[in-house]
Amino acid sequence: MPGGQIDRLGRLADLLRATRAASVGASIISLDVYDPEAIAAFYAEAGADAPARLVVGLGGPQLPRPLPALNGLLDRLDQGEPPVPALVLMVTPAYVAEARGILGDQSTLVVDQMLVLDADPARARETARRPLRFLAGLPGYAASFARMGFTDQEIAGVSDRMVDELVAWGDVGAIGARIGEQLRAGADHVVLHVLGEDGQPGPAEAARRLADRLPI
């Protein structure tokens, strides 16, 4: 569930109650909006009702220097019972490889991969640009994009290169290839975050088309 739809943590509980075995993931729960104690309490409650089915993706505060504040917030989450794990969003395979090198083999690395199932470059990129334009205007994401090697001009204009490296688009073969890249780079799991407009396949249709074509 994208962060913009999480106006209350109960949205995730609703999905857990509506399913029996599926994992429910948040990408993201913003630490600007929900304090760590509320997240930890919700995680513990969800774990009691639906064991091991809630995946908590967290987003740091949108500050010029977010890491000190984020570290403090994560420390508070680590003190929860049980502790709360995390998920990364909008990253390239090169970033995933770097993150795996830092984390080592003992941590689970989960990547949220935005995708557009459309082989027309102009249509696919325009769909991808909508969330990217919003995210590029947030200081934390802009800084993250810069660390991945995108220039200020590319970030401000959401360049084709930025779209192509951050969002998978194309036919099922192209989407499968990008997911394979993320897995080879070190991701343990890849969450498929489907974007679709004006007749482009939505989540259910994309899942049907991709189901037997993804790397296992």
Grade residue 64 by pLDDT with cuts at 50, 70 and 90: low
Residue 154: its pLDDT value, please? 97
DSSP single-letter state for residue 170: S
Per-residue model confidence as pLDDT tens digits over 146-175: 989 999 999 999 999 999 999 999 999 999
Question: Cβ–Cβ contacts within 10 Å for residue 20, how many?
Answer: 8
Name the CATH superfamily for 88-216.
Luciferase-like domain (3.20.20.30)
Residue-range domain boundaries for the chain = 1-86, 88-216
Residue with tokens 């991701």: 187
Per-residue model confidence as pLDDT tens digits over 187-196: 988 888 899 9
Cβ atoms of 200 and 118 within 8 Å: the answer is yes
Report pTM. 0.71
Task: Please indicate whether residue 13 or residue 120 has the higher confidence score (pLDDT).
Answer: 120
Percent of the chain at pLDDT exceeding 70? 91
Cβ atoms of 23 and 16 within 8 Å: the answer is no
